[in-house]
């Protein structure tokens, strides 16, 4: 595929259930980011993977949130015991890290999560 | 505290008119500044990326400026079109400890009316 893909595009779940969101980055991109965007608000950084380095988890809002990435491929964001406040669009982005220079992020279409 | 503030929060203009969106930041260390366009229901799309040494960059009808001394940036849209209706997001990158952390502004919501 030419771009970042995410699945599912929409997810409706009941409060207390676990959900898993998937991101397929652009092939060859070593960096992968997860963001959350609540309705009408700006993007909120969640977690950043860079190659085999330890991820930057500083944006995860609680221990109910976790993410994994194997190598430079697919990443999954897991939200356990979902709450209504978790309702948002979850965006994934990938970029090709160039040493010392800026690197453009390419965003996926997002997964819209609704917790009832 | 690293912050990116954008103004105005929202803007309505008539088709064909120009407009300028503002971005002020307090991010250190500074790596680069980006402007993104986000259509409703879509992911953001990059418009421009500027490093410390660049003070202007254009992408078609979009022109971004950067004043690293005053920590201000602007995005100027010329001859607006209906398709310019979107949110415009200013993002400042801070490269620290090998991580490229991006700090996002809340965006300016632009509506172009016929």
Average pLDDT over residues A82-101: 83
Summarize pLDDT for B13-32 with one digit per residue, the tens: 999 999 999 999 998 888 88
| pLDDT for A99 beyond 50 | no
Are residues A43 and B99, on separate chains, in Cβ contact within 8 Å?
no
- β-strands B86-96, B99-104 pairing: antiparallel
> Is-contact B93 A102, C-beta < 8 A?
yes
- Say whether residue B106 is in contact with chain A using an 8 A CB cutoff: yes
d(CA B5, CA A98): 27
Residues contacting residue B53 through CB under 8 Å, at least 6 positions apart? none
pLDDT at A79 > cutoff 60: yes
> What distance lies between CA B53 and its chain's CA centroid?
17
- List B33's β-bridge partners, or say none: B50, B92
Position A53 scores a pLDDT of 80
B68 contact A CB<8A: no
Q: Please, which residues 2-41 of chain B have a Cβ atom closer than 8 Å to chain A?
A: 31-32, 34
Question: What pLDDT is attached to residue A100?
Answer: 41
For residues A51 and A29, the answer to whether their CB atoms sit within 8 Å is no
């Amino acid at each position: 595929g030419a771009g970042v893909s995410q699945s599912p595009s929409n997810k409706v779940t009941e409060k207390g259930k676990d959900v898993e969101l998937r991101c397929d980055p652009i092939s060859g991109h070593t960096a992968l980011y997860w963001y959350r965007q609540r309705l009408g608000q700006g993007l909120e950084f969640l977690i950043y993977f860079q190659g085999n380095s330890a991820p930057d988890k500083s944006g995860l809002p609680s221990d109910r949130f976790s993410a994994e990435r194997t190598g430079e491929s697919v990443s999954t964001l897991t939200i356990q015991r979902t709450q209504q406040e978790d309702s948002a669009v979850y965006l994934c982005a990938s970029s090709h890290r160039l040493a010392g220079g800026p690197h453009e992020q390419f965003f996926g279409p997002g997964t819209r999560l609704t917790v009832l | 505290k690293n912050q990116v503030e954008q103004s105005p929060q929202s803007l309505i203009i008539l088709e064909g008119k120009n407009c300028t969106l503002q971005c002020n930041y307090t991010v250190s260390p500074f790596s680069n500044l980006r402007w993104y366009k986000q259509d409703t229901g879509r992911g953001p799309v990059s418009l421009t990326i500027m490093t410390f040494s660049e003070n202007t960059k254009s992408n078609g009808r979009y022109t971004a400026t950067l004043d690293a001394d005053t920590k201000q940036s602007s995005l100027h849209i010329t001859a607006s079109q209906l398709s310019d209706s979107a949110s415009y997001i200013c993002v400042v990158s801070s490269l620290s400890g090998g991580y490229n952390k991006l700090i996002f502004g809340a965006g300016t919501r632009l509506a172009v009316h016929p």
